[in-house]
């Protein structure tokens, strides 16, 4: 709303200066504001009819903020304005004066002081547990914003592929639930405006990079949401998409440059083969189609080789961090961006915030290809992504496959799959910065994979909370949510959280309404998530595992002070733990405590029930 008022004021100023038929107007100035003391030089993108014919200055001139260059675009309706801000510049409200001949118009612009400690803010780490929310499906806290006059799609909760009305206020109303569960960070799928005619609830087709979707709330409410998360001990990870924007974005029909988005003679989709980025044998034609082909007909592929667009996205990311006090980013479809500009993008963010963490979605089952994308990896082509964290899809795939194989195991099946994935850990540059998960918003519900078997779900919880890396869980998996109709695809796995809407028959935010297997899974998951919070041995301890091909899996997480032993029995029969087999690490361990029951455990005589996990901790 504030942005709208500013633009109205700008238009009034234009009319006053030029008469009732203005020749020039300002529709957008981005970034919306800036700060004193930033490393990133400010470059404004100004959009408005005929603005390319104007000169620009900033007033007052004596306060340390000056225009140093003005760059014209291919379109006459854009200019890019370089602004120098002295380290001792005065924070406050400034005026952008656009002059065409003898006429001028003024637009307000704010340059603020940075919040204390902003540069060295902490981010999410392997000590965190990330809770993934699809905002439209979590809770409806404000029914008055279910629909808005300036967005196309309206609420239709009866249709799984349409908007259901969840919003920021709904999440804020249930932060106590999330914190009590044991999560320490929240990742929401994109909250920025997505103005498609249908399926806009997913948010991955951005129509305005500087505006929270009004059906979720406002920019100001998002900032309040971040503050409330921090008050609840929760870090906030923002999901962003530099690879593509919506064809409903305000710039789409009049782009600043002819190469702002990738153009084809006819619609050309990406070939999805991002191995072309590191494949010595790949053709340039295949590489070009991979990174320049469109993700979908409604998703215009952005060309980050354009230096103005790259600077736009660098500043956009930094603006949201500084404006709303963010703790991290998750970057969608990371390898589909041009890799060298994205490396510069990551580098710019990290230069501004040295402790900041960014996790990229690199959806591949190939461990070497995944490792290629983590910053600092010793790639043969010398490429460094500067991307700190990557999502561990090979482990994700192994866990899910193992949960469908509950027999006596064998070579390459059952729990051996997980052993095999972790046996490749030597490939990765930084194991602490691997995000691990059993499901997310784009995969089948883990409750469906486990066919509603609470025992399997508890094994998954045991794995996710004790393996190396940063665990992430999709909302509702703590209750063993299942899709409503898997044959209808993604919309039916992105189900509404019961209790998030007035009139829901069941409220699973209320622990007194938990029952049966769902209660069993919830209680077990919650216990382990909260136990993990202060376990440094789990956060960053080393791993030692032992191979067996009988569909069991034994591993230790250890450091100099503590050891945690995990034994997974994924078979249909009870198994006696072969403790003597683990003597190289277990011989000196005594007085183990069962993490779930709290009972003392004699490791020389332990039987683990079918389809279950044993977690025992020791002090050294």
257 burial via Cβ count (<10 Å: 0-12, 13-18, 19+): middle
Concerning whether 332 is annotated as a catalytic residue, the answer is yes
According to DSSP, residue 268 is labeled -
Strand pairing category for 130-133 and 185-188: parallel
What are the CA-CA distances from residue 125 to residues 308, 332, 432, 468 (Å)?
A: 32, 19, 8, 12
CA-CA distance, 116 to 15, in Å (whole number)?
40
- Distance between CA atoms of 404 and 226, rounded to whole angstroms? 39
The token pair at 264 is 């084809």
Q: What is the distance between the alpha carbons of residues 244 and 618, in angstroms, rounded to a whole number?
A: 49
* Catalytic, out of 128, 361, 496, 617: 361
Q: Is 222:210 a contact under the CB 8 Å cutoff?
A: no
φ, ψ dihedrals at 507, nearest 5°: -120, 100
Beta bridge partners of residue 576, listed in sequence order: 607
Contact 99, 55 (CB under 8 A): yes
**Of these residues, 208, 213, 332, 617, which one is catalytic?**
332
Does residue 361 have an active-site annotation? yes
**Paired strand residues for 619:** 562
Place of tokens 């900041």: 356
- If DSSP codes are grouped into helix, strand and coil, which group holds residue 255? coil
Judge contact between 352 and 40, C-beta under 8 A: yes
Q: Which residues are catalytic?
A: 332, 361
């Amino acid at each position: 709303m504030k942005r709208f008022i500013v633009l109205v004021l700008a238009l009034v100023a234009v009319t006053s200066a030029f008469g009732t038929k203005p020749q020039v107007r300002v529709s957008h100035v981005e970034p919306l504001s800036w700060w004193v003391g930033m490393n990133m030089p400010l470059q404004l993108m100004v959009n408005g009819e005929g603005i390319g014919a104007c000169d620009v200055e900033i007033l007052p001139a004596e306060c340390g903020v000056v225009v140093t260059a003005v760059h014209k675009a291919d379109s006459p309706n854009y200019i890019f304005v370089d602004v120098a801000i002295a380290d001792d510049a005065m924070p406050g409200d400034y005026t952008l004066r656009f002059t065409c001949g003898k006429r001028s118009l003024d637009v307000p612009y704010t340059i603020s002081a940075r919040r204390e400690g902003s540069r060295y803010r902490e981010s999410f780490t392997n000590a965190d547990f990330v809770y993934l929310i699809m905002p439209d499906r979590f809770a409806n806290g404000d029914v008055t914003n279910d629909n808005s006059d300036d967005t196309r799609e309206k609420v239709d909760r009866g249709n799984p592929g349409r908007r259901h009305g969840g919003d920021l206020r709904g999440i804020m109303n249930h932060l106590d639930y999330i914190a009590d569960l044991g999560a320490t960070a929240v990742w929401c799928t994109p909250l920025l405006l997505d103005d498609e005619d249908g399926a806009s609830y997913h948010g991955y087709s951005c129509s305005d990079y500087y505006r929270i979707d009004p059906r979720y709330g406002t920019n100001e409410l998002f900032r309040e949401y971040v503050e409330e998360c921090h008050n609840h001990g929760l870090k906030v990870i923002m999901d962003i998409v530099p690879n593509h924007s919506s064809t409903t974005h305000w710039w789409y029909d009049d782009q600043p440059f002819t190469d702002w988005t990738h153009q084809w003679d006819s619609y050309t989709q990406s070939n999805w083969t991002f191995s072309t980025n590191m494949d010595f044998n790949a053709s340039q034609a295949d590489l070009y189609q991979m990174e320049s082909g469109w993700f979908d007909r409604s998703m215009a592929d952005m060309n980050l080789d354009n230096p103005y667009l790259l600077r736009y996205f660098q500043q956009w990311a930094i603006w949201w961090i500084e404006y709303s006090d963010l703790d991290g980013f998750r970057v969608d479809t990371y390898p589909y961006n041009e890799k060298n500009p994205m490396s510069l993008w990551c580098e710019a963010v990290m230069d501004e915030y040295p402790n900041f963490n960014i996790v990229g979605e690199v959806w591949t089952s190939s461990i070497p290809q995944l490792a290629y994308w983590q910053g600092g990896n010793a790639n043969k082509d010398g490429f460094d992504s500067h991307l700190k964290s990557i999502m561990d899809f090979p482990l994700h795939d192994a866990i899910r496959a193992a949960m469908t194989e509950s027999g006596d195991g064998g070579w390459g099946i059952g729990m051996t799959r997980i052993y095999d994935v972790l046996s490749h850990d030597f490939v990765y540059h930084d194991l602490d910065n691997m995000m691990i998960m059993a499901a997310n918003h784009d995969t089948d519900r883990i409750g469906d994979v486990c066919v509603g078997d609470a025992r399997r779900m508890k094994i998954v919880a045991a794995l996710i909370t004790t393996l190396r890396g940063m665990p992430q869980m999709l909302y509702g998996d703590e209750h063993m949510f299942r899709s409503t109709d898997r044959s209808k695809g993604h919309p039916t796995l992105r189900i509404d959280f019961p209790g998030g809407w007035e009139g829901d028959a069941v409220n699973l935010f209320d622990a007194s309404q938990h029952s049966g297997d769902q209660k069993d899974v919830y209680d077990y998951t919650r216990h382990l998530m909260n136990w993990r919070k202060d376990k440094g041995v789990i956060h960053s301890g080393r791993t030692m595992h032992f191979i067996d091909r009988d569909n069991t899996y034994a591993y230790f997480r250890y450091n100099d002070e503590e050891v945690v032993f995990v034994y997974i029995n994924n078979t249909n029969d009870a198994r006696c733990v072969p403790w003597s087999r683990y003597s190289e690490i277990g011989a000196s361990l005594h007085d183990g405590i069962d993490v779930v029951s709290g009972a003392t455990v004699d490791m020389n005589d332990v039987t683990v029930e079918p389809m279950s996990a044993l977690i025992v901790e020791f002090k050294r």
